[in-house]
Structure 1
Amino acid sequence: MKSFTYNALPARVIFGSDTLPQIAQEIKNLGCTKALVLTTPQQIPEGELVLKLIGPELGAGIYSEATMHTPTDITEKAVARAQELKADCVISVGGGSTTGLGKAIALRTGLKQIAVPTTYAGSEASATPIIGETSGSVKKTQKTMKVLPNVIVYDVKLSLTLPPRMTLTSGVNAVAHAVEALYSTDSNPIIDGLALQGITAIARALPQIMHSPPDSESLFSARSDALFGAWACGTCLGAVGMSLHHKICHTLGGTFNLPHADTHTVILPHAMAYNAPYAKETMKQIVSALKDAGLAAESAPGAVWDLVKSLDGPMSLRELGMREEDLDKAADIASGNPYPNPAPLERDKLKKLLQDAWNGIRPE
Structure 2
Amino acid sequence: MSNQSLSFIHDSLPQKIRFGFGEASANLLEEVRTRNAQSVMVIAGEPEMPIAKQVASEIEVAVWHSDVVMHVPIETAQAAREVAVDNQVDLLVCVGGGSTTGLAKAVALETGIPIVAVPTTYAGSEATNVWGLTEEKRKTTGVDIKVLPETVIYDSKLTLSLPVEMSVASGLNGMAHCVDSLWAPKADPINAALAGEGIRALSAGLPKIVEDSQSIEGRDEALYGAYLSAVSFASAGSGLHHKICHVLGGTFNLPHAQTHATILPYVLAFNAPYAPGAEQRMAAAFGTQTGLEGLQQLREKVNAPARLSDYGFSADGIPEAVSIVLEKVPANNPREVTEENFTQLLTAALNGDDPAILSN
Choose the corresponding residue for 2:321, options 326, 330, 346: 330
CA deviation map 1:96-127 (0-9, x unaligned): 010000100000111110000110115xx111
| Aligned residue number for residue 79 of structure 1 | 81
TM-aligned CA deviation for residue 277 of structure 1 = 2.1
For the aligned residue pairs, the C-alpha RMSD in angstroms reads 1.4
| Aligned residue number for residue 39 of structure 2 | 34
TM-aligned CA deviation for residue 13 of structure 1 = 0.9
| Aligned residue number for residue 167 of structure 2 | 167
The TM-score, its normalising length taken from structure 2, stands at: 0.94
In 2, the alpha carbon distance for the partners of 1:338 and 1:175 equals 20
Whether the aligned pair in 1 keeps the contact of 2:318 and 2:346 (CA below 8 Å) is: yes
163-172 or 188-197: which moved more?
188-197
In 2, the alpha carbon distance for the partners of 1:306 and 1:352 equals 23
Cα 1:363–1:338 shift into 2, 3 Å:
closer
- 1:291-302 correspondence runs (5 A): 291=287, 297-302=288-293
- 1:162-241 correspondence runs (5 A): 162-212=162-212, 215=214, 219-241=215-237
TM-aligned CA deviation for residue 203 of structure 1 = 0.3
Whether the aligned pair in 2 keeps the contact of 1:92 and 1:99 (CA below 8 Å) is: yes
TM-aligned CA deviation for residue 324 of structure 1 = 1.1
Whether the aligned pair in 1 keeps the contact of 2:266 and 2:355 (CA below 8 Å) is: yes
103-112 or 190-199: which moved more?
190-199
332-341 or 241-250: which moved more?
332-341
Number of aligned positions between the proteins? 350
In 2, the alpha carbon distance for the partners of 1:338 and 1:119 equals 28
- 1:208-287 correspondence runs (5 A): 208-212=208-212, 215=214, 219-287=215-283
| Aligned residue number for residue 63 of structure 2 | 61
| Aligned residue number for residue 45 of structure 1 | 50
In 2, the alpha carbon distance for the partners of 1:360 and 1:311 equals 16
TM-aligned CA deviation for residue 252 of structure 1 = 0.2
| Aligned residue number for residue 358 of structure 1 | 350
In structure 2, stretches of 5+ residues that fail to align are none
TM-aligned CA deviation for residue 86 of structure 1 = 2.1
| Aligned residue number for residue 19 of structure 1 | 23
| Aligned residue number for residue 136 of structure 1 | 136
TM-aligned CA deviation for residue 73 of structure 1 = 0.7
271-280 or 255-264: which moved more?
271-280
Choose the corresponding residue for 1:91, options 86, 90, 93: 93
Whether the aligned pair in 2 keeps the contact of 1:265 and 1:308 (CA below 8 Å) is: no
In 2, the alpha carbon distance for the partners of 1:62 and 1:206 equals 32
Choose the corresponding residue for 1:7, options 2, 8, 11: 11
In 2, the alpha carbon distance for the partners of 1:88 and 1:309 equals 46
| Aligned residue number for residue 150 of structure 1 | 150
Question: Partner letter of residue 143 of structure 2?
Answer: K
TM-aligned CA deviation for residue 299 of structure 1 = 3.2
TM-aligned CA deviation for residue 318 of structure 1 = 0.7
Whether the aligned pair in 2 keeps the contact of 1:75 and 1:101 (CA below 8 Å) is: yes
In 2, the alpha carbon distance for the partners of 1:262 and 1:357 equals 12
In structure 1, stretches of 5+ residues that fail to align are 292-296
In 2, the alpha carbon distance for the partners of 1:31 and 1:108 equals 22
| Aligned residue number for residue 303 of structure 1 | 294
Whether the aligned pair in 1 keeps the contact of 2:127 and 2:148 (CA below 8 Å) is: yes
272-281 or 301-310: which moved more?
301-310
The TM-score, its normalising length taken from structure 1, stands at: 0.93
CA deviation map 1:41-75 (0-9, x unaligned): 21110122233221x3xx11210111210111111
What secondary structure sits across from 2:306 in the alignment?
coil
What secondary structure sits across from 2:18 in the alignment?
strand
What secondary structure sits across from 2:19 in the alignment?
strand
| Aligned residue number for residue 336 of structure 2 | 344
TM-aligned CA deviation for residue 248 of structure 1 = 0.4
What secondary structure sits across from 1:361 in the alignment?
coil
CA deviation map 1:137-161 (0-9, x unaligned): 0001001111111111101111122
186-195 or 156-165: which moved more?
186-195
